Structure 1
């Protein structure tokens, strides 16, 4: 299929009339506009493994992640769908047809961020999204990465991004410099043929690079995910905090922009059921489990690790490779 992919087309998909408006939308997705090697995120002591979502319409949402993101449907039944790349499960969907849609003011998922192996892969995917007229909610240059934002059919946020090489990241006193600038779309699209989409499926190296959560209190969230889970702070700005393992820019984002003061999540609604952090070494998992127990966190043993629950009821699984 031949398409006419212009800046105007992409802006229309993002519901914007200018790049500045699209960057502003991305700023709302990442906070404020104040101021890599793509496999880096997976070479750290801890990394994001997979995500499980509760959804009302299993078929509709599974088809979306298959057709729009390019994930392969690995298993599918009336109750669940497992999707991923190169035989690795990245996303599990659980059918909850009677569930209410989780409020955006509740604690829970802000977005799941799919990390492309290369910048060219991001360009190829953007041509694919535009050719299928996929609605976008914003795009931006974050200095450490370049990102496109969208929502699945039930409002679960998605980021598709590519990292810049870590040698280009700017660190100062333990904080990495990030921003929400205009994405240079022409430069990005110069890497691929915009008239002939060639993104048939997600590249084998695509992973979930980071998770971004809505929380009810930022200090309480930092106490749990930094003080207890053990992720390191990499950036703090108004209403948001970012944490990582091994000096990645962030494996976890957290904000209170819509959810300040949120209470316990309602597990009968749609949204994030749990996500996993994978440990590179077995001894690290043992140390993390001890740290959780010493922190007074209720820990549930699993066959391949442990599950803990954050202050708002979001489940995080610490798993061995």
Structure 2
């Protein structure tokens, strides 16, 4: 049996092929609120939350003007962006609403609440927050029990509005 990977291991960033760098930056920076850390002309850019060197790389090296992969092909299902609080996720939903970006789904997984959408290149994006581990649903034997239920978007929007009130 192989030993498990070191539990401190994290996924540091994702790098996406995009058709139009400015359009992708408009989504990731102007809508979601990431900060542009570095740009290489019209070919690549790196964006971050909180000043990290980059969480998301965007490039047109092999994809400038390209089209998304057709349904039924392999590739990235989605990238997931973890928000620190429910209020921060509600803020993300408000940003999407303001930009007119539709959701492709919204789920309560018991351990987390998640919003699903596509970026301008039809890369799947999940925006989510994790509930405290003490609230995660468990079976009688203590094993984790993830679920998929409809997320109450009205309640999430209300939580965001309540968090912004003085």
TM-score using structure 2 length: 0.82
How many Å separate the matches in 2 of 1:138 and 1:100? Answer: 23
In the TM superposition, residue 175 of structure 1 has moved relative to its aligned partner by 4.9
Say which of 44, 47, 56 aligns to 1:83. Answer: 47
Say which of 101, 107, 122 aligns to 1:155. Answer: 122
Aligned partners of 1:68 and 1:134 also within 8 Å: no
How many Å separate the matches in 2 of 1:176 and 1:145? Answer: 12
Deviation by residue 1:9-60 (Cα, 9 ceiling, x = unmatched): xxxxxxxxxxxxxxxxxxxxxxxxxxxxxxxxxxx42222100011111111
Q: Comparing both structures, which one devotes a greater share of its residues to strand?
A: 1
Aligned partners of 1:144 and 1:168 also within 8 Å: yes
TM-score using structure 1 length: 0.44
Q: Hey, what does 1:21 align to over in structure 2?
A: none
How many Å separate the matches in 1 of 2:59 and 2:120? Answer: 15
- Superposition map of 1:1-321 within 5 A: 44-76=7-39, 77-88=41-52, 89-95=54-60, 96-97=63-64, 99-172=66-139, 175-193=143-161
Aligned partners of 2:32 and 2:95 also within 8 Å: no
Deviation by residue 1:198-252 (Cα, 9 ceiling, x = unmatched): xxxxxxxxxxxxxxxxxxxxxxxxxxxxxxxxxxxxxxxxxxxxxxxxxxxxxxx
In the TM superposition, residue 189 of structure 1 has moved relative to its aligned partner by 2.4
- Tell me: higher relative CO, structure 1 or 2? Use CA pairs within 8 A at least 6 residues apart: 1
In the TM superposition, residue 174 of structure 1 has moved relative to its aligned partner by 8.0
Q: CA RMSD in A?
A: 2.2
Which consecutive residues of structure 1, in runs of 5 or more, have no partner in the other structure?
A: 1-43, 197-321
Provide the aligned length of Structure 1 versus Structure 2: 153
Q: Hey, what does 1:271 align to over in structure 2?
A: none
In the TM superposition, residue 116 of structure 1 has moved relative to its aligned partner by 0.4
